[in-house]
Structure 1
Amino acid sequence: MASSTQDHQHHFPTAIGTTSAPPPTPSTTQPNFTSTSDSSATDLLSRLLHRLPPTLSNTPLLLRRRSSLATTTSTTTSPPSLPFPELNSSLSTTLPSISELGFFQLTNHSIPSDLARAAESDSISLFNLPRHLKHQHFPRIWPLGFDDDDNEEEEDTGAGDSLILDSSCSTDSSELSLNSLREFTREMEKIGFAVVEALFSAMGLQNPAGDDPAGLSSLVWVSNSSGFTDSKLDGSGKFYPYVIGLHYQFRSKSCSLLADPGWVSVSSLMDSILVTLGDIAQVWSNGKLKKIRGKPTYNMEEGTNSLPLSMSFLVTLPLESTVSPLYPRVLISNHGDTKDHKKLKEDGDCETNQVNTFNSFSFEDYAWRVYHERVPLKDPLDRYRV
């Protein structure tokens, strides 16, 4: 599934230690599969928008101008519901629908609602810490730690902050009590790995991670946003690549997801787990699975100036991984016909060529680029498409 192609100096730590030097920019040896002027213009626009001062980039005028670039729908979709105890059989029958949507919801799972709300309370207490304590307890070792866009001169309101933790919720402090958050994360990890196993089994593939526990990595991403900082216009704020994302639904609220066709509005059940298929799952499936970019964007709470705290558990990859399609989507027969894999086997035809829809690429280079560029105008996987 994942193979190491280079020796990097920064990896996911098992426990967050002292602050290390910032990681290098993506390798210049990684091939660039799109050299068109359109791609260059998009990247240039992304860098320019990212460097605008907050007082300018967050104005309603710029919001209206940039929000017109996203396609939204007025229809709210209820995701397919899969009872967790019946996950394997349910995925086998609903896979075509889920493949087109890129999301579904899990019900009857093993996480008690009181544990989830205790974990949410732990997270809120972290966002209420003064800025200097946030950075003291969670030093930045990319991609882990608190990220407030380094707005040191602005008032520390906690708005726009995001916290990324490893699966152990490691900190540099013994003063923080995160027992509920750690237990919640352990339970989410079990569910996440079970979903990956069931998803690819339903597609007729072995688990991409195999029996290697280091084949997959886990992150907890907690966000607290307000105003225009983390809105639809930039794809739910910063974006980190993942196989699947698990998003516990603390309330019965609609949210927006950035799918392949554009923005979709989704309403899931309270205490269910919204599962989104990520960009890595799309590459592994060789384009068969539709994906969701980033995290859900929740509507602003009525009567408040802030968006609710969001908690996402991401099943992702170690930084040193190489991402490649796991099987060809299209095969070409001896007669020159193109058929999908199943049909070719049924007809007993002999394959002569395997066609991939994605080139292989370095996960670390890709993750660094999409996390920092925040490009909402173009699918970041486009440059790797064949």
Structure 2
Amino acid sequence: MASSSAHHHFLPNIHGGATAAPPPTPSTTQPNNAHFSSAASEASADALAGLLHRLPPSLSLPSRRRSTAPSSASLPAVSLAGDGGSSDDLLSAATESGYFDLTDCGTMIPSELAHSAESDSLSLFGLGEEQKETWLPKAWPLGYEAVDGEEAETGSFCLDADCSTEPSSELKLTSLREFTRALGEIGLKTVEKLASAVGFDNPFGHDPTRLCTFMWIHEGISGDKPAISGGFYPFVVCLQYQIREQKYCLMTESGWVTVAPRVDSVLVTLGDIAQVWSNGKLKKVRYRPVACSSQGEGDDGRSKRLTMSLLLTLPMDSRVSPLMPGKDDGDEGLGEEEEEEDGEKRVFRSFSFEDYAWRVYNERLYFKDPLDRYRTRL
């Protein structure tokens, strides 16, 4: 698997510290009699977004956002085995819910490795603030980010596939690195299975430079209501190994739901990029799984929880578009007649991954689907 550090181009943080948000990008919505997918309008919006990336920080954004209590949901069980039944289960879960539990990962990720990786992750939060910022400096989206506010003890680390740190760092993170690579291999197999089941070419299989792998480690307070800390980041799939019994809250397209993965399984959630690639056929989960409280955690049902989420995502210079048969990834500005292929029309227009990632991370669009601006009018 290609290392994200070799292919990912990070945006410069010329002001130091954690990156703040630019002013919101103006809406590209046009009057009803205008063509919604105008190439000129999209180019102008992308150019403006690129300019805003380089403006000084001017807005203060909330560090946490709480929501209403989620509803319980069943968690589909899926196997990566090659029989037809497992493929049907995968397709059903991906198109109906956007999340599922991989139950046959024990041979690929030993339980001992997951526990050792957790110990490595906990050691990161045991560092002093100066060490965190020196050894794992912020280079968006990589590095350490503290979460300010009422619960200042929360924070997150975003690491590349090699779990790289500054050369002067004393951190080894050997188990975490091995764990990240093992989860990444499972993620690649999952994307390959999804592409085959839905009917689009797997870009990761043909061009490994299109792949970036991030390990997102977050330490926060679990509660009976989900609380989002930090910004979103677009992904194809997100994988989370279940070390012990723990409930998680997922922000689905129908609202917050609570699921309980099996111990030693891998919780998989599909992201916005997977939904665009499938031309809207796949459901998505908009955020990384959030730890929810379980019974017996104390009088207030709240405790400190560590989550390790593996994101398979794209390099900054990528363009995102539906992977339809007979169409190039870069097709843009097509008329309605040209958008149709074998009776299927594009649900999404092509867009810049860099501009999209910056927007959803910094604007903190908690309750608005950021893909709406790229949908075509059918």
Same-fold status (TM-score > 0.5): yes
1:355 is paired with a residue whose SS is: coil
Residue in 2 that maps onto 1:185 = 180
Task: Evaluate the alpha carbon distance shift between residue 306 and residue 351 of structure 1 in structure 2; reply closer, same or farther with a 3 A threshold.
Answer: closer
1:108 paired to 2:107: no
The count of residues paired between Structure 1 and Structure 2 equals 322
Structure 2 distance, partners of 1:213, 1:237, is 29
Corresponding residue number in structure 2 for 1:168:
162
Cα distance, 1:298 vs structure 2: 1.1
Q: How much has 1:189 moved relative to structure 2?
A: 1.0
User: What is the identity, as a one-letter code, of the residue corresponding to 1:189?
Assistant: G
Deviation at 1:114, TM superposition (A): 0.5
Q: How does 1:18-29 map to 2 (within 5 A)?
A: 21-22=13-14
1:293 counterpart SS class:
coil
Report SS of the residue matched to 1:282: helix
- Give the 3-state SS of the residue equivalent to 2:365 in structure 1: coil
Q: Distance in 2 between matches of 1:167 and 1:188?
A: 10
In structure 2, the CA distance between the partners of 1:288 and 1:33, relative to structure 1 (3 Å rule), is farther
- Structure 1 residue 317 corresponds to structure 2 residue 314: yes
Aligned to 1:333: none
Partner Cα distance (1:163, 1:288) in 2: 32
For the 8 Å contact 2:270–2:284, the answer to whether it is kept is: yes
Shift of 1:262: 0.8
CA–CA separation in structure 2 for the residues paired with 1:325 and 1:31: 24
Deviation at 1:210, TM superposition (A): 3.8
- In structure 2, how many angstroms separate the alpha carbons of the residues matched to 1:214 and 1:27? 29
Q: Which amino acid is the alignment partner of residue 308 of structure 2?
A: M
Please say which of residues 249-258 and 128-137 is displaced more in the overlay. 249-258
Kindly provide the CA deviation profile for residues 168-204 of structure 1, in whole angstroms up to 9, marking residues without a partner as x. 0000044112110011011111111111111101112
The aligned amino acid for 1:199 is L
Match of 1:370 in 2: 360
* Mapped pair 1:359 → 2:357: no
Distance 1:88 1:237 in 2: 40
Distance in 2 between residues matched to 1:13 and 1:367, nearest whole Å: 17
Give 2:212's aligned residue.
217
The CA distance in 2 between the partners of 1:355 and 1:16, in whole Å, is 32
What are the equivalent positions in structure 2 for 1:1-386 lying under 5 Å apart? 13-14=5-6, 21-22=13-14, 33-34=28-29, 51=60, 67=67, 72-73=70-71, 75-77=72-74, 79-86=75-82, 90-109=86-105, 110-149=108-147, 151=148, 159-172=153-166, 173-226=168-221, 232=226, 234=228, 237-300=230-293, 302-303=297-298, 305-327=302-324, 354-386=344-376
Conserved? CA contact 2:242–2:264, under 8 Å: yes
CA–CA distance in structure 1, aligned partners of residues 280 and 10 of structure 2: 40
Checking the alignment, whether the CA contact within 8 Å between 2:4 and 2:161 is kept in structure 1 is no
Question: Which is further off, 249-258 or 160-169?
Answer: 249-258
% identical aligned pairs: 45
Contact 1:128 1:158 in 2 (8 A): no
SS for the counterpart of 2:267 is strand
CA-to-aligned-CA distance 1:306-345 (integer Å, 9 cap, x gap): 33100000010001101001128xxxxxxxxxxxxxxxxx
Q: Give the alignment's TM-score, normalised by structure 2.
A: 0.75
- Residue by residue, what CA displacement relative to the aligned partner does 1:271-328 show, whole Å, maximum 9, x if unpaired? 1100001000001111100100111111236137533100000010001101001128
Q: Does the CA-based 8 Å contact 2:4-2:213 persist in structure 1?
A: no
**Where do 5+ consecutive residues of structure 2 fail to align?**
32-58, 326-339
Is contact 2:7–2:212 with CA below 8 Å preserved after alignment?
no
Displacement of 1:158: 6.7
- C-alpha displacement at 1:128, in angstroms? 1.0
